[in-house]
Amino acid sequence: MTLRLHDTMTRRLVAVEPLESGHLRLYTCGPTVWNRVHIGNFRTFVFEDVLRRWVDRRFERVTHVMNLTDVDDRIIKNAREHHHTLDAETTPWIAAFFEDRDTLGIRPAHHYPRATEYIEPMVDLVERLERAGAAYRSDGSYYFHIAAFPRYGRLSGLPAGGLVAGASGRIDADDYTKEDVRDFALWKAVGPDDIGWDAGIGRGHPGWHIECSAMSMALLGESFDIHCGGVDNIFPHHENEIAQSEAATGKPFVRLWCHSAHLRIGGEKMAKRLGNFQTVPEVVAEGARPAALRYMLAASTHYRKPLNYSEEPLAASNEAVSRLVEFRDRVRELGTVDEAGSVDEAVLASVRAARNGFDEAMDDDLNLPEAMGAVFAALRDINRELDRGGVTDGTCRALCDLLDEVDDVLGVFPLVDRNRERAGDLGAEEHTLLADRERARAESRWEDADRIRTALAARGIIVEDTPGGQRWKRA
Protein backbone atom coordinates (compact mmCIF):
# COMPACT_ATOMS: atom_id res chain seq x y z
CA MET A 1 0.00 0.00 0.00
CA THR A 2 1.14 3.55 -0.74
CA LEU A 3 0.35 6.57 1.38
CA ARG A 4 -1.58 9.21 -0.55
CA LEU A 5 -2.30 12.69 0.78
CA HIS A 6 -4.44 15.53 -0.52
CA ASP A 7 -2.15 18.13 -2.04
CA THR A 8 -3.49 21.68 -1.68
CA MET A 9 -1.48 22.83 -4.71
CA THR A 10 -2.91 20.30 -7.20
CA ARG A 11 -6.24 19.68 -5.41
CA ARG A 12 -5.84 15.92 -5.74
CA LEU A 13 -4.52 12.88 -3.88
CA VAL A 14 -0.80 12.46 -4.43
CA ALA A 15 1.40 9.46 -3.58
CA VAL A 16 4.02 10.33 -0.97
CA GLU A 17 7.39 9.55 -2.56
CA PRO A 18 10.33 11.24 -0.82
CA LEU A 19 12.76 13.24 -2.93
CA GLU A 20 15.56 11.42 -1.11
CA SER A 21 14.95 7.68 -1.16
CA GLY A 22 13.88 6.38 2.25
CA HIS A 23 14.10 9.82 3.92
CA LEU A 24 10.96 11.92 4.29
CA ARG A 25 11.43 15.58 5.23
CA LEU A 26 8.47 17.28 6.92
CA TYR A 27 7.96 20.92 7.96
CA THR A 28 5.00 21.98 10.10
CA CYS A 29 4.24 25.60 10.94
CA GLY A 30 4.48 25.97 14.69
CA PRO A 31 3.01 28.55 17.07
CA THR A 32 3.67 32.26 17.22
CA VAL A 33 4.57 32.46 20.90
CA TRP A 34 2.93 35.73 21.90
CA ASN A 35 0.26 34.04 24.03
CA ARG A 36 -0.93 30.58 25.06
CA VAL A 37 -1.93 28.41 22.13
CA HIS A 38 -5.64 27.45 22.02
CA ILE A 39 -7.23 24.12 21.12
CA GLY A 40 -8.09 25.40 17.65
CA ASN A 41 -4.36 25.56 16.96
CA PHE A 42 -3.97 22.11 18.49
CA ARG A 43 -6.45 20.70 16.00
CA THR A 44 -3.74 21.34 13.40
CA PHE A 45 -0.89 20.20 15.63
CA VAL A 46 -2.67 16.91 16.44
CA PHE A 47 -3.35 16.29 12.73
CA GLU A 48 0.35 16.87 12.07
CA ASP A 49 1.19 14.48 14.90
CA VAL A 50 -0.97 11.75 13.34
CA LEU A 51 0.82 12.35 10.03
CA ARG A 52 4.21 12.21 11.75
CA ARG A 53 3.33 8.95 13.51
CA TRP A 54 2.12 7.37 10.27
CA VAL A 55 5.12 8.40 8.16
CA ASP A 56 7.39 7.16 10.97
CA ARG A 57 5.88 3.76 10.27
CA ARG A 58 5.96 4.08 6.50
CA PHE A 59 9.50 5.39 5.88
CA GLU A 60 12.95 4.40 7.07
CA ARG A 61 13.86 7.89 8.18
CA VAL A 62 11.80 10.99 8.91
CA THR A 63 13.09 14.47 9.75
CA HIS A 64 10.40 16.68 11.27
CA VAL A 65 10.91 20.41 11.79
CA MET A 66 8.41 22.65 13.60
CA ASN A 67 9.33 26.31 13.90
CA LEU A 68 8.69 28.60 16.84
CA THR A 69 7.93 32.16 15.72
CA ASP A 70 9.50 34.18 18.53
CA VAL A 71 9.64 37.54 16.74
CA ASP A 72 6.77 39.34 15.06
CA ASP A 73 4.92 42.63 15.51
CA ARG A 74 2.70 41.35 18.34
CA ILE A 75 5.61 39.90 20.30
CA ILE A 76 7.64 43.09 19.90
CA LYS A 77 4.66 45.17 21.05
CA ASN A 78 4.20 42.98 24.14
CA ALA A 79 7.92 43.03 24.93
CA ARG A 80 7.93 46.82 24.84
CA GLU A 81 4.86 47.08 27.06
CA HIS A 82 6.30 44.59 29.59
CA HIS A 83 9.84 46.01 29.39
CA HIS A 84 11.10 42.57 28.38
CA THR A 85 13.71 41.28 26.01
CA LEU A 86 12.30 39.08 23.25
CA ASP A 87 13.66 36.01 25.05
CA ALA A 88 12.05 36.97 28.35
CA GLU A 89 8.76 37.67 26.58
CA THR A 90 8.58 34.40 24.65
CA THR A 91 10.21 31.81 26.93
CA PRO A 92 7.12 31.32 29.18
CA TRP A 93 4.86 30.85 26.15
CA ILE A 94 7.24 28.34 24.57
CA ALA A 95 7.27 26.39 27.84
CA ALA A 96 3.44 26.51 27.92
CA PHE A 97 3.27 25.19 24.36
CA PHE A 98 5.53 22.25 25.20
CA GLU A 99 3.46 21.54 28.32
CA ASP A 100 0.24 21.44 26.28
CA ARG A 101 1.98 19.37 23.59
CA ASP A 102 2.87 16.78 26.21
CA THR A 103 -0.62 16.88 27.76
CA LEU A 104 -2.02 15.82 24.39
CA GLY A 105 0.69 13.23 23.75
CA ILE A 106 2.11 14.90 20.64
CA ARG A 107 5.38 13.33 19.51
CA PRO A 108 8.19 15.95 19.69
CA ALA A 109 9.61 17.23 16.42
CA HIS A 110 13.28 16.56 15.72
CA HIS A 111 13.98 20.30 15.50
CA TYR A 112 12.25 23.33 17.03
CA PRO A 113 14.09 26.25 15.43
CA ARG A 114 13.40 29.67 16.92
CA ALA A 115 13.23 32.48 14.40
CA THR A 116 15.64 34.61 16.42
CA GLU A 117 18.32 31.93 15.96
CA TYR A 118 18.16 32.19 12.14
CA ILE A 119 18.52 35.91 11.48
CA GLU A 120 21.65 35.48 9.35
CA PRO A 121 20.04 32.95 6.94
CA MET A 122 17.04 35.30 6.65
CA VAL A 123 19.29 38.24 5.73
CA ASP A 124 21.10 36.04 3.21
CA LEU A 125 17.75 35.09 1.64
CA VAL A 126 16.71 38.75 1.36
CA GLU A 127 20.00 39.52 -0.39
CA ARG A 128 19.50 36.62 -2.81
CA LEU A 129 16.03 37.92 -3.65
CA GLU A 130 17.35 41.42 -4.26
CA ARG A 131 20.02 40.07 -6.61
CA ALA A 132 17.34 38.08 -8.44
CA GLY A 133 15.25 41.20 -8.93
CA ALA A 134 12.45 39.91 -6.72
CA ALA A 135 13.04 42.23 -3.74
CA TYR A 136 13.52 45.97 -3.44
CA ARG A 137 14.33 48.48 -0.73
CA SER A 138 12.04 51.31 0.32
CA ASP A 139 12.55 53.61 3.34
CA GLY A 140 15.12 51.16 4.71
CA SER A 141 12.81 48.12 4.58
CA TYR A 142 12.85 45.33 2.01
CA TYR A 143 9.78 44.04 0.19
CA PHE A 144 9.03 41.10 -2.07
CA HIS A 145 7.88 42.22 -5.51
CA ILE A 146 4.92 39.99 -6.37
CA ALA A 147 5.03 41.09 -10.02
CA ALA A 148 8.44 39.38 -10.28
CA PHE A 149 6.86 35.98 -9.54
CA PRO A 150 4.17 35.23 -12.17
CA ARG A 151 3.20 31.94 -10.51
CA TYR A 152 1.98 33.73 -7.39
CA GLY A 153 -1.46 32.49 -6.34
CA ARG A 154 -1.23 28.84 -7.43
CA LEU A 155 -1.59 27.45 -3.91
CA SER A 156 -4.53 29.57 -2.81
CA GLY A 157 -6.19 29.91 -6.23
CA LEU A 158 -6.30 33.68 -5.83
CA PRO A 159 -5.67 35.66 -9.02
CA ALA A 160 -2.15 37.05 -8.90
CA GLY A 161 -3.05 39.82 -11.35
CA GLY A 162 -5.44 41.44 -8.94
CA LEU A 163 -2.82 41.45 -6.22
CA VAL A 164 -0.07 42.77 -8.46
CA ALA A 165 -2.31 45.61 -9.60
CA GLY A 166 -2.30 46.95 -6.05
CA ALA A 167 1.37 46.43 -5.43
CA SER A 168 2.01 50.07 -4.60
CA GLY A 169 0.14 49.73 -1.32
CA ARG A 170 2.82 47.86 0.64
CA ILE A 171 2.13 46.82 4.21
CA ASP A 172 4.43 45.98 7.09
CA ALA A 173 2.12 44.22 9.55
CA ASP A 174 2.50 40.49 10.13
CA ASP A 175 -1.10 40.01 11.19
CA TYR A 176 -3.16 40.94 8.15
CA THR A 177 -6.06 39.77 6.03
CA LYS A 178 -6.43 38.83 2.39
CA GLU A 179 -7.78 42.22 1.42
CA ASP A 180 -4.61 43.96 2.63
CA VAL A 181 -1.85 41.83 1.12
CA ARG A 182 0.20 43.23 -1.76
CA ASP A 183 3.97 43.39 -1.85
CA PHE A 184 4.92 41.99 1.52
CA ALA A 185 7.69 42.90 3.94
CA LEU A 186 10.83 40.76 4.06
CA TRP A 187 12.88 42.97 6.40
CA LYS A 188 11.46 45.82 8.46
CA ALA A 189 13.69 48.76 9.25
CA VAL A 190 13.80 49.92 12.88
CA GLY A 191 15.49 52.69 14.80
CA PRO A 192 18.64 52.31 16.91
CA ASP A 193 16.65 51.96 20.15
CA ASP A 194 14.01 49.57 18.79
CA ILE A 195 14.11 45.77 18.98
CA GLY A 196 16.04 44.53 15.98
CA TRP A 197 19.30 43.26 14.55
CA ASP A 198 22.18 45.06 12.88
CA ALA A 199 22.75 43.52 9.46
CA GLY A 200 24.37 44.36 6.14
CA ILE A 201 20.95 45.34 4.81
CA GLY A 202 20.39 47.74 7.72
CA ARG A 203 19.07 47.49 11.25
CA GLY A 204 15.69 45.78 11.39
CA HIS A 205 13.79 42.58 12.07
CA PRO A 206 12.40 39.92 9.72
CA GLY A 207 8.91 39.70 8.33
CA TRP A 208 6.90 36.64 9.27
CA HIS A 209 7.07 34.82 5.94
CA ILE A 210 10.84 34.99 5.42
CA GLU A 211 11.32 33.21 8.75
CA CYS A 212 9.77 29.90 7.70
CA SER A 213 11.52 29.90 4.31
CA ALA A 214 14.93 30.43 5.88
CA MET A 215 14.46 27.92 8.70
CA SER A 216 12.95 25.15 6.56
CA MET A 217 15.63 25.44 3.87
CA ALA A 218 18.41 25.57 6.46
CA LEU A 219 17.26 22.33 8.11
CA LEU A 220 15.58 20.41 5.27
CA GLY A 221 17.15 21.75 2.08
CA GLU A 222 15.95 24.09 -0.65
CA SER A 223 13.41 21.47 -1.77
CA PHE A 224 11.67 19.06 0.62
CA ASP A 225 8.72 16.69 0.78
CA ILE A 226 5.77 17.88 2.88
CA HIS A 227 4.76 21.23 4.35
CA CYS A 228 1.76 21.37 6.70
CA GLY A 229 -0.38 23.93 8.49
CA GLY A 230 -3.93 25.05 9.04
CA VAL A 231 -6.07 26.29 6.16
CA ASP A 232 -5.59 29.84 7.41
CA ASN A 233 -1.88 29.48 6.58
CA ILE A 234 -2.56 28.89 2.87
CA PHE A 235 -2.92 32.60 2.16
CA PRO A 236 -0.93 34.68 2.60
CA HIS A 237 1.72 32.81 4.60
CA HIS A 238 2.34 29.69 2.53
CA GLU A 239 1.70 31.52 -0.74
CA ASN A 240 4.41 33.99 0.24
CA GLU A 241 6.77 31.24 1.36
CA ILE A 242 6.54 29.65 -2.07
CA ALA A 243 7.11 32.92 -3.89
CA GLN A 244 10.18 34.05 -1.97
CA SER A 245 11.74 30.57 -1.76
CA GLU A 246 11.37 29.69 -5.43
CA ALA A 247 12.30 33.19 -6.61
CA ALA A 248 15.55 32.87 -4.64
CA THR A 249 16.52 29.30 -5.54
CA GLY A 250 14.88 28.66 -8.90
CA LYS A 251 13.80 25.26 -7.52
CA PRO A 252 10.43 23.82 -6.47
CA PHE A 253 10.09 24.61 -2.77
CA VAL A 254 7.78 21.86 -1.51
CA ARG A 255 6.54 18.68 -3.16
CA LEU A 256 3.25 18.31 -1.27
CA TRP A 257 1.16 20.77 0.78
CA CYS A 258 -1.26 19.52 3.47
CA HIS A 259 -3.69 21.69 5.41
CA SER A 260 -6.21 20.93 8.16
CA ALA A 261 -9.61 22.60 8.49
CA HIS A 262 -10.64 24.90 11.33
CA LEU A 263 -11.90 23.93 14.75
CA ARG A 264 -15.14 25.86 15.14
CA ILE A 265 -17.16 26.84 18.16
CA GLY A 266 -20.75 27.96 17.75
CA GLY A 267 -20.26 27.76 13.98
CA GLU A 268 -17.35 30.22 13.95
CA LYS A 269 -13.62 29.63 13.64
CA MET A 270 -11.99 29.46 17.07
CA ALA A 271 -9.65 32.46 17.27
CA LYS A 272 -8.13 34.78 19.84
CA ARG A 273 -9.32 37.86 17.96
CA LEU A 274 -12.93 36.62 18.27
CA GLY A 275 -12.54 35.81 21.96
CA ASN A 276 -14.17 32.40 21.47
CA PHE A 277 -11.19 30.21 22.24
CA GLN A 278 -10.25 27.78 25.01
CA THR A 279 -6.83 26.51 25.98
CA VAL A 280 -5.86 22.93 26.78
CA PRO A 281 -5.56 23.60 30.56
CA GLU A 282 -8.99 25.26 30.57
CA VAL A 283 -10.66 22.34 28.82
CA VAL A 284 -8.97 19.83 31.12
CA ALA A 285 -9.91 21.86 34.20
CA GLU A 286 -13.54 21.68 33.08
CA GLY A 287 -13.34 17.90 33.26
CA ALA A 288 -12.21 16.71 29.83
CA ARG A 289 -9.79 13.83 29.86
CA PRO A 290 -6.71 14.65 27.76
CA ALA A 291 -7.18 11.33 25.97
CA ALA A 292 -10.76 12.29 25.01
CA LEU A 293 -9.67 15.73 23.82
CA ARG A 294 -6.91 14.19 21.72
CA TYR A 295 -9.31 11.61 20.25
CA MET A 296 -11.80 14.34 19.36
CA LEU A 297 -9.16 16.46 17.61
CA ALA A 298 -7.59 13.48 15.83
CA ALA A 299 -10.30 10.97 15.04
CA SER A 300 -13.81 12.34 15.39
CA THR A 301 -13.72 14.11 11.99
CA HIS A 302 -11.38 13.88 8.99
CA TYR A 303 -8.66 16.51 9.22
CA ARG A 304 -9.81 18.30 6.06
CA LYS A 305 -13.36 18.79 7.37
CA PRO A 306 -14.28 21.50 9.90
CA LEU A 307 -14.85 20.22 13.41
CA ASN A 308 -17.32 21.95 15.73
CA TYR A 309 -16.21 21.92 19.35
CA SER A 310 -19.06 21.13 21.72
CA GLU A 311 -20.05 18.71 24.46
CA GLU A 312 -21.38 16.15 21.99
CA PRO A 313 -18.16 15.25 20.07
CA LEU A 314 -16.13 15.44 23.27
CA ALA A 315 -18.49 13.06 25.09
CA ALA A 316 -18.54 10.69 22.09
CA SER A 317 -14.74 10.75 22.02
CA ASN A 318 -14.60 10.02 25.72
CA GLU A 319 -16.85 7.00 25.18
CA ALA A 320 -14.65 5.79 22.31
CA VAL A 321 -11.54 6.01 24.48
CA SER A 322 -13.33 4.17 27.28
CA ARG A 323 -14.30 1.34 24.90
CA LEU A 324 -10.70 0.99 23.77
CA VAL A 325 -9.37 0.97 27.32
CA GLU A 326 -11.99 -1.51 28.49
CA PHE A 327 -11.06 -3.85 25.65
CA ARG A 328 -7.35 -3.49 26.44
CA ASP A 329 -8.07 -4.27 30.08
CA ARG A 330 -10.08 -7.32 29.08
CA VAL A 331 -7.27 -8.61 26.87
CA ARG A 332 -4.74 -8.14 29.66
CA GLU A 333 -6.90 -10.17 32.02
CA LEU A 334 -7.67 -12.98 29.57
CA GLY A 335 -7.17 -16.52 30.75
CA THR A 336 -5.61 -18.57 27.95
CA VAL A 337 -6.08 -22.14 26.77
CA ASP A 338 -3.53 -24.63 25.47
CA GLU A 339 -5.07 -25.51 22.12
CA ALA A 340 -6.49 -23.24 19.44
CA GLY A 341 -10.15 -23.62 18.59
CA SER A 342 -12.86 -21.91 16.58
CA VAL A 343 -12.73 -18.87 18.85
CA ASP A 344 -9.07 -18.35 17.95
CA GLU A 345 -9.81 -18.63 14.24
CA ALA A 346 -12.61 -16.08 14.42
CA VAL A 347 -10.60 -13.69 16.60
CA LEU A 348 -7.54 -13.81 14.34
CA ALA A 349 -9.75 -13.20 11.29
CA SER A 350 -11.13 -10.09 12.98
CA VAL A 351 -7.60 -8.96 13.90
CA ARG A 352 -6.58 -9.20 10.24
CA ALA A 353 -9.70 -7.30 9.15
CA ALA A 354 -9.01 -4.55 11.69
CA ARG A 355 -5.38 -4.21 10.68
CA ASN A 356 -6.15 -4.16 6.94
CA GLY A 357 -9.01 -1.71 7.35
CA PHE A 358 -6.92 0.56 9.57
CA ASP A 359 -3.93 0.60 7.22
CA GLU A 360 -6.03 1.16 4.09
CA ALA A 361 -7.89 4.09 5.67
CA MET A 362 -4.71 5.69 6.96
CA ASP A 363 -3.01 5.39 3.56
CA ASP A 364 -6.07 7.06 2.03
CA ASP A 365 -5.33 10.65 3.13
CA LEU A 366 -4.99 9.81 6.83
CA ASN A 367 -8.64 8.88 7.26
CA LEU A 368 -8.35 8.12 10.97
CA PRO A 369 -12.14 8.24 11.63
CA GLU A 370 -12.65 5.48 9.05
CA ALA A 371 -9.64 3.59 10.40
CA MET A 372 -11.11 3.62 13.89
CA GLY A 373 -14.45 2.50 12.49
CA ALA A 374 -12.73 -0.63 11.16
CA VAL A 375 -11.11 -1.20 14.56
CA PHE A 376 -14.32 -0.83 16.57
CA ALA A 377 -16.23 -3.12 14.20
CA ALA A 378 -13.57 -5.78 14.76
CA LEU A 379 -13.54 -5.28 18.53
CA ARG A 380 -17.29 -5.79 18.65
CA ASP A 381 -16.92 -9.12 16.85
CA ILE A 382 -13.94 -10.12 18.99
CA ASN A 383 -15.81 -9.40 22.22
CA ARG A 384 -18.60 -11.72 21.10
CA GLU A 385 -16.09 -14.47 20.37
CA LEU A 386 -14.31 -13.99 23.69
CA ASP A 387 -17.67 -14.41 25.43
CA ARG A 388 -17.78 -17.91 23.91
CA GLY A 389 -14.47 -19.13 25.27
CA GLY A 390 -10.75 -18.66 25.84
CA VAL A 391 -7.92 -18.18 23.35
CA THR A 392 -4.30 -19.28 23.17
CA ASP A 393 -1.30 -17.18 24.19
CA GLY A 394 -0.54 -16.57 20.50
CA THR A 395 -4.00 -15.14 19.85
CA CYS A 396 -3.76 -13.03 22.98
CA ARG A 397 -0.44 -11.60 21.75
CA ALA A 398 -2.00 -10.84 18.36
CA LEU A 399 -4.69 -8.82 20.14
CA CYS A 400 -2.09 -6.91 22.14
CA ASP A 401 -0.07 -6.24 18.98
CA LEU A 402 -3.15 -4.89 17.21
CA LEU A 403 -3.90 -2.50 20.06
CA ASP A 404 -0.29 -1.34 20.17
CA GLU A 405 -0.24 -0.69 16.41
CA VAL A 406 -3.48 1.27 16.52
CA ASP A 407 -2.47 3.36 19.50
CA ASP A 408 0.97 4.03 18.04
CA VAL A 409 -1.01 6.33 15.72
CA LEU A 410 -4.01 7.23 17.89
CA GLY A 411 -1.90 7.97 20.96
CA VAL A 412 -4.48 7.76 23.77
CA PHE A 413 -3.30 4.88 25.97
CA PRO A 414 -0.30 6.72 27.49
CA LEU A 415 -2.59 9.63 28.39
CA VAL A 416 -5.07 7.27 30.06
CA ASP A 417 -2.30 5.47 31.94
CA ARG A 418 -0.82 8.76 33.12
CA ASN A 419 -4.18 9.83 34.52
CA ARG A 420 -4.55 6.47 36.23
CA GLU A 421 -1.16 6.91 37.87
CA ARG A 422 -2.18 10.34 39.11
CA ALA A 423 -5.31 8.76 40.59
CA GLY A 424 -3.20 6.15 42.30
CA ASP A 425 -4.49 6.92 45.79
CA LEU A 426 -7.71 5.08 44.95
CA GLY A 427 -7.97 1.44 45.80
CA ALA A 428 -8.57 -1.30 43.24
CA GLU A 429 -12.19 -1.67 44.34
CA GLU A 430 -12.81 2.07 43.92
CA HIS A 431 -11.25 2.01 40.44
CA THR A 432 -13.57 -0.86 39.57
CA LEU A 433 -16.60 1.07 40.79
CA LEU A 434 -15.63 4.09 38.71
CA ALA A 435 -15.16 1.90 35.63
CA ASP A 436 -18.50 0.18 36.28
CA ARG A 437 -20.23 3.53 36.56
CA GLU A 438 -18.65 4.82 33.36
CA ARG A 439 -19.81 1.67 31.57
CA ALA A 440 -23.31 2.06 33.01
CA ARG A 441 -23.52 5.63 31.73
CA ALA A 442 -22.29 4.60 28.28
CA GLU A 443 -25.05 1.96 28.18
CA SER A 444 -27.71 4.43 29.50
CA ARG A 445 -28.21 2.41 32.70
CA TRP A 446 -28.85 5.53 34.73
CA GLU A 447 -30.19 3.85 37.87
CA ASP A 448 -27.05 1.71 38.10
CA ALA A 449 -24.89 4.78 37.57
CA ASP A 450 -26.68 6.65 40.36
CA ARG A 451 -26.40 3.64 42.69
CA ILE A 452 -22.64 3.43 42.10
CA ARG A 453 -22.28 7.19 42.63
CA THR A 454 -23.97 6.81 46.01
CA ALA A 455 -21.66 3.90 46.93
CA LEU A 456 -18.61 5.99 46.03
CA ALA A 457 -19.92 8.96 48.00
CA ALA A 458 -20.17 6.69 51.02
CA ARG A 459 -16.42 6.08 50.58
CA GLY A 460 -15.72 9.81 50.47
CA ILE A 461 -15.37 10.02 46.67
CA ILE A 462 -17.44 12.67 44.90
CA VAL A 463 -18.16 11.93 41.23
CA GLU A 464 -19.08 14.68 38.76
CA ASP A 465 -20.26 14.20 35.17
CA THR A 466 -18.69 16.56 32.65
CA PRO A 467 -18.69 16.86 28.83
CA GLY A 468 -15.36 15.01 28.80
CA GLY A 469 -16.58 12.20 31.05
CA GLN A 470 -16.81 11.60 34.76
CA ARG A 471 -14.24 12.97 37.17
CA TRP A 472 -13.79 12.32 40.87
CA LYS A 473 -12.36 14.06 43.91
CA ARG A 474 -12.03 13.31 47.57
CA ALA A 475 -14.77 14.80 49.70
Element (H, E) at 447: helix 446-458
In CATH, what is the architecture of 287-418?
Answer: Orthogonal Bundle (1.10)
DSSP character at residue 279: B
Task: Lowest mean pLDDT of 7-21, 175-189, 348-362, name the range.
Answer: 175-189
By CB atoms closer than 10 A (0-12, 13-18, 19+), residue 84 is middle
Residue ranges, CATH 3.40.50.620, the chain: 4-274
pLDDT at 263: 95
For the cut 90, the answer to whether the pLDDT of residue 269 exceeds it is no
| Number of neighbours of residue 401 by Cβ within 10 angstroms | 12
Average pLDDT on 205-224 reads 97
Interatomic CA distance for residues 464 and 380, integer angstroms: 29
By CB atoms closer than 10 A (0-12, 13-18, 19+), residue 176 is middle
pTM for the full predicted model: 0.88
Residue ranges, CATH 1.10.730.10, the chain: 287-418
pLDDT digits (tens, 9 = 90+) for 377-386: 999 999 999 9
Contacts of 382 (CB under 8 A, 6+ apart): 327, 347, 350, 351, 399
pLDDT at 178: 34
At 137, the pLDDT band (50, 70, 90 cuts) reads very high
At 1, the pLDDT band (50, 70, 90 cuts) reads confident
CB 118 within 8 A of CB 210: no
pLDDT digits (tens, 9 = 90+) for 286-334: 889 999 999 999 999 999 999 999 999 999 999 999 999 999 999 998 9
CB 411 within 8 A of CB 105: yes
At 174, the pLDDT band (50, 70, 90 cuts) reads low
CATH of 4-274, one of 3.10.20.740, 3.40.1640.10, 3.40.50.2300, 3.40.50.620: 3.40.50.620
DSSP character at residue 188: E
pLDDT digits (tens, 9 = 90+) for 78-95: 999 999 999 999 999 999
At 166, the pLDDT band (50, 70, 90 cuts) reads very low
Q: Is 166 helix (H, G, I), strand (E, B) or coil?
A: coil
Q: Is 98 helix (H, G, I), strand (E, B) or coil?
A: helix
